[in-house]
């Protein structure tokens, strides 16, 4: 990634906080959009300055996704709401094997939100987009009354192109397939909780927030027959596996000893009464591939993270269930998370 530095182009000293007028359609809103947002995300698509972006796509099939981000706190070790919004949308596209290209950006800002904090978020969005190789193609800004917005909320939508003929889908999961994880789990959720509650541990736990499209592109370029991919966000590894088992109508078996969890995360989970299997991640995903290609896929993943591991397999039983082979040699069922273990983690 090339050196990336932005200087805020609007006089923050004139408006240290966001005003309702910044979303009112007048000069303040146009100045905010033109001098902060457009300047930070400048590209040929945005320069069209039209109500909708006109994008020329290849003849390939496209992938399209949308998500909203309401994380609290806005800034946390390893990331913030800006980088989270970009990486989350990029990763949703990557899980279908798409090459992410364009992102829309919708900002709902609370009146009184500090302008310097808004600029930090904008810089973070721009840097994350640069790192992931995507363009902010269009956007919208709304300002709501003080006390009605909790700082800032972000909505993003993303478009990517499918440059492969693979059928990456839960419906393509087969008996005997192997499940591979690209590293340790649980860091994002614990990083958010520790920052939110003012908890201090021996080592500061940082979120794993990161784009995954580069890793996915390497796997697909290596002609590995990927059957399914899924990122491990809300609900963590366990909930994701249950979703896949239900969609595919298959039994999944996981080996707990093979699932990497850092000791600081494990210790924090024990103190807080959490199970790391259910804690959210923002840079981890599972890849499901035929058994004969598992080692080749694992070799690629370990170039990015040496802790990547084969953690389980798809069984032939015609029941939607996830079973865990525990560290002490027993078996237990991993259910879907029934409630909200960690609210507002993304």
Q: Are residues 231 and 150 in the same domain?
A: no
Statement: residue 223 has pLDDT above 90: yes
State both tokens at 56: 């020329």
CATH of the domain at 107: 3.30.1330.10
Handedness of CA 178, 181, 185, 188 (dihedral sign): negative
Residue 341 falls within a domain, yes or no?
no
Q: Are residues 139 and 215 in the same domain?
A: no
Closest Cα to residue 259, out of 234, 278, 235? 278
pLDDT for 22 equals 87
Statement: residue 234 has pLDDT above 90: no
pLDDT for 202 equals 79
14 Cβ neighbours under 8 A, 6+ residues apart: none
Q: Are residues 182 and 325 in the same domain?
A: yes
Domain end point (choices 101, 136, 161): 161
Residue 293 dihedral angles phi and psi, to the nearest 5°: -110, 5
245: β partners: none
Q: Are residues 127 and 226 in the same domain?
A: no
The tens digit of pLDDT for each residue in 24-74 reads 767 888 788 888 898 899 888 888 766 667 777 777 788 999 999 999 999
Q: How confident is the model at residue 338 (pLDDT cuts 50, 70, 90)?
A: low
Residue 2 falls within a domain, yes or no?
no
Domain end point (choices 126, 143, 161): 161
CATH of the domain at 245: 3.90.650.10
Statement: residue 315 has pLDDT above 90: yes
Percent of the chain's residues with pLDDT above 70? 93
The enclosing H or E element of 128 equals: helix 115-132
DSSP tag of 33: I
> Do residues 336 and 242 touch, judged by C-beta distance below 8 A?
yes
3-state secondary structure of 17: strand
Residue 7 falls within a domain, yes or no?
no
Residue 53 falls within a domain, yes or no?
yes
Q: Are residues 154 and 176 in the same domain?
A: no
Residue 213 falls within a domain, yes or no?
yes
Domain end point (choices 138, 161, 184): 161
Quote the domain boundaries for residue 183: 170-333
3-state secondary structure of 306: coil
pTM across the whole model: 0.89
Residue 10 falls within a domain, yes or no?
no
CA dist., res. 88 & res. 62, Å (int): 18
pLDDT for 55 equals 74
State both tokens at 322: 């996830």
Residue 252 falls within a domain, yes or no?
yes
Q: Are residues 198 and 323 in the same domain?
A: yes
3-state secondary structure of 285: strand
Q: Are residues 210 and 116 in the same domain?
A: no
* Domains: count for the chain: 2
Most confident of 109-118, 243-252, 329-338: 109-118
Most confident of 62-66, 104-108, 169-173: 104-108
CA dist., res. 234 & res. 214, Å (int): 22
Q: Are residues 122 and 180 in the same domain?
A: no
Residue 229 falls within a domain, yes or no?
yes
Q: Are residues 123 and 185 in the same domain?
A: no
Q: Are residues 103 and 183 in the same domain?
A: no
User: For 215, left (φ over 0), alpha (ψ -120 to 50), or beta?
Assistant: alpha
Q: Are residues 175 and 152 in the same domain?
A: no
Higher pLDDT, 279 or 24: 279
Q: Are residues 93 and 199 in the same domain?
A: no
Q: Which residue has the tokens 């983690």?
A: 345
3-state secondary structure of 120: helix
Q: Which residue has the tokens 């989970």?
A: 269
> Do residues 205 and 191 touch, judged by C-beta distance below 8 A?
yes
Mean pLDDT on 184-193: 96
Strands 152-161 and 135-144 turn out to be unpaired
Statement: residue 15 has pLDDT above 90: no
């Amino acid at each position: 990634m090339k050196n990336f530095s932005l200087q805020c182009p609007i006089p923050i000293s004139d408006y240290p906080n966001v005003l309702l007028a910044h979303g009112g359609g007048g000069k303040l809103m146009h100045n905010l959009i033109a001098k902060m947002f457009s300047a930070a995300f400048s590209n040929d698509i945005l320069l069209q300055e039209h109500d909708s972006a006109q994008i020329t796509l290849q003849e390939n099939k496209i992938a399209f996704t949308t998500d909203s981000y309401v994380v609290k706190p806005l800034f946390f070790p390893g990331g913030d709401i800006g980088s989270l919004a970009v990486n989350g949308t990029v990763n949703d596209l990557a899980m279908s094997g798409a090459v992410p290209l364009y992102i829309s950006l919708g900002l709902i800002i609370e009146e009184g939100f500090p302008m310097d904090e808004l600029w930090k978020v904008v810089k973070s969005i721009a840097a994350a987009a640069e790192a992931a190789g995507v363009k902010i193609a269009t956007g919208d800004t709304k300002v709501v009354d003080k006390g009605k917005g909790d700082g800032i909320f972000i909505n993003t939508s993303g478009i990517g192109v499918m440059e492969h003929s693979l059928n990456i889908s839960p419906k393509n999961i087969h008996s005997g397939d192997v499940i591979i994880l690209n590293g340790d789990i649980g860091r994002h959720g614990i990083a958010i909780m520790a920052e939110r509650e003012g908890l201090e541990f021996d080592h500061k736990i940082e979120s794993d927030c990161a784009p995954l499209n580069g890793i996915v592109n390497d796997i697909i370029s290596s002609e590995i027959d990927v059957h399914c991919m899924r990122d491990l966000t809300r609900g963590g590894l366990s909930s994701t596996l249950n979703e896949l088992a239900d969609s595919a109508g298959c039994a999944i078996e996981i080996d707990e000893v093979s699932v990497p969890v850092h000791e600081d995360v494990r210790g924090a989970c024990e103190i807080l009464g959490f199970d790391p299997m259910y804690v959210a991640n923002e840079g981890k995903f599972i890849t499901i591939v035929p058994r004969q290609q598992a080692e080749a896929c694992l070799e690629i993943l370990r170039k990015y993270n040496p802790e990547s591991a084969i953690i389980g397999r798809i069984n032939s039983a015609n029941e939607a269930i996830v079973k865990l082979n525990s560290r002490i040699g027993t078996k237990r069922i991993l259910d879907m998370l029934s409630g909200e273990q960690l609210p507002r983690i993304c």
